[in-house]
Structure 1
Amino acid sequence: MAFDNTFWALIGLILFLALVAYLKAPAMMTKALDKRAHQIRNELDEAKELKEEAKRQLAEFQRRRREAESEARDIVAAAQREANGLLEDAHRKSDEYVTRRTQVAEQKISQAEADAIAEVRASAVNIAVDAATRILTERNVGGDARMTDQSIEEVRRRLN
């Protein structure tokens, strides 16, 4: 019986397969593949958890942003109300100040008018007394000058 190359190739293949079976290569390959599949599954689960955490954080940040925007709007509205109140208060105080200043000016004008009238009266009284004195003095040439002076003083006192 002659052994050709095909026979020896078959023997080599059988020996190789026996060696592979003996060394449990398929089990090792299956174990390595299972281990790799388990790692990939763990990585996928971790990626899903990270994705869910990212979604939660995104939702939290969006909620905070909405709250911050709402708070900012409230702050702006409060500042606007306060500014309007201050503006109205300033207008009111300005109007009150103008009213007081107008009243003071009117009082000063009234006082000046009263002073002018009093001064004109006093001047008119003095002129009238002087004229009366001259007339009485001229008419009462030889008479009692003391009585004339008393009369003039009494008139002056009553008119002032």
Structure 2
Amino acid sequence: MRHLKAPIAALAALSASPALAAGDVFFSLKNTDFVVSIAFLVFVGILLYFKVPSLVGGMLDKRAEGIKSELDEARGLREEAQALLASFERKQKDVQDQADRIVANARDEAARAAEQAKVDIRTSVDRRMKAAEEQIASAQSAAVKDVRDRAVTAAIAAAQNVIASQMSASDANALIDDAIAQVEAKLH
């Protein structure tokens, strides 16, 4: 209330002074500059009385603290985002390395499988060649045996024809008697 009394006293002193009666004087209510100055001083006084500057300062301080906390939160979020980005980049690199290892292993396995397939094919071809050679040898020995059998049959037939044409009945009886004697000698 003390703050209000001083401006009111100054206002009352100015309004009751003889200077207000003069028309060309600065301190006159007819002078707009003086009225505006008084109104401005009254307005500033009212603002000071209701502590508006401290309220505005408090509001500005509160807003500054809010902005600072938002900046701190944004800074923390940025750091967290950078940490996540670094983590994802490490994971991506690890996944890429693992994929490269898998591809390299697959290539190595394919090369080993190809080499094994070549070995298996060679073994199979060798086995088949051996089987074919054995079949050829078997067929050859069968053919030789067949030729021998036919030669023996032909020789027997030829010998039979030669013997039949050259042998007489008495020679045949003598050969039969001799064969019987040899069989008896071998059996006893």
Identity score, percent: 35
Tell me the distance in 2 between the aligned counterparts of 1:37 and 1:74.
54
Question: Which consecutive unaligned segments of at least 5 residues does structure 2 have?
Answer: 1-17, 21-27, 180-188
CA shift, 1:84, in A, is 1.3
Name 1:86's counterpart in structure 2.
113
Name 2:153's counterpart in structure 1.
126
Runs of 4 or more above 6 Å deviation: none
Q: TM-score, normalised by structure 1?
A: 0.85
One-letter identity of the residue aligned with 1:53? E
Name 1:142's counterpart in structure 2.
169
Select which of 7, 10, 21 maps to 2:48.
21
Please identify the structure whose Cα radius of gyration is greater: 2
CA shift, 1:144, in A, is 4.8
Tell me the distance in 1 between the aligned counterparts of 2:70 and 2:37.
44
One-letter identity of the residue aligned with 2:46? L
- Please state whether the residue corresponding to 2:169 is helix, strand or coil: coil
Is 1:37 the equivalent of 2:64?
yes
Name 1:156's counterpart in structure 2.
none
CA shift, 1:11, in A, is 2.8
Q: Deviations over 1:60-106 (max 9, x none)?
A: 01100100000000110111111112111211111111111100100
CA shift, 1:57, in A, is 0.8
CA shift, 1:33, in A, is 0.9
Tell me the distance in 1 between the aligned counterparts of 2:99 and 2:35.
88
- Root-mean-square deviation (CA, aligned residues, Å) is 1.8
Tell me the distance in 2 between the aligned counterparts of 1:137 and 1:8.
178
One-letter identity of the residue aligned with 1:71? Q
Aligned residues, how many? 150
Name 1:157's counterpart in structure 2.
none
Tell me the distance in 1 between the aligned counterparts of 2:147 and 2:96.
75
One-letter identity of the residue aligned with 1:68? V
